[in-house]
Structure 1
């Protein structure tokens, strides 16, 4: 089966594209940072970070979607991963985000997630999007609120995470009404 064309999304300051092998070094540094990884399952050694990168790349092949690598336009640096995500057992289709610490506080999560939500609704045809957020993660709750999502309840993430999360989200109709 021929590979599907890889999507490339652009915002004012970011390029969102499927993960590539060249992303591994910054991905591994991100995964090893205790603060950056605190609310996404904790730190990972290089070997596990490699598997996580390959999981995202493989999901693009198998599912036709996964999180994008986030590239800062001004520098060309990899600064995180975000976008559509729904591994087996996940509560619902998610647009999630995780950024390297040097990218925090710049509005990149909101900017990139908004583009990813447009993609999820307009290209993937999703009718609803959630964000699985640790109850202590005030930064991600703020991103969800800026996107117009509201707290929908709680869920238990599947193994290997096996931890509770808050489920934030909205419908395609709510998203489109807000974007007008």
Structure 2
């Protein structure tokens, strides 16, 4: 069993060996997905491309977690087509790509045109998967309620490794699950996502 900062190194070695791989973190609102991504960047990478689909990133929260000196290119997108364009522009840059959240726009457009939306979502994920053979990709995915699976689950599970953040009885603590098996516990603090322990 590892604790604290040792868990970030263990997480990276298991899920991003040689700084390659594609992982999707999912969970309900407030479970710590964005905080996980930002803290991951702070602990393991000095550069990242951060594609944001849910409006503007909270700059105050960014400063709390990352401090003043961070090298992140932020791209805000507002449709699946814009997300595809942002992903295409971000490929093969030899930096961490973060998409937060990858299924938000898919879920919105799915009700309007299921076929096109699904094909776009599959294309986006296949491009990210291909990129992950050279450099790491981390995405988040929304769910409505605790225990739900994310929209586009079948596509996401085909292209990425899925980890779930599950809030505990305390608003600031929760569990990290892989295939419904607890692999760690965490707490959310002002400084970011903090591992209590991890087992992998």
Q: TM-score range by the shorter chain?
A: 0.3 to 0.5
Q: Which has the higher contact order (CA 8 A, sep 6+)?
A: 2
TM-score by length of 2: 0.31
Structure with bigger strand share is 2
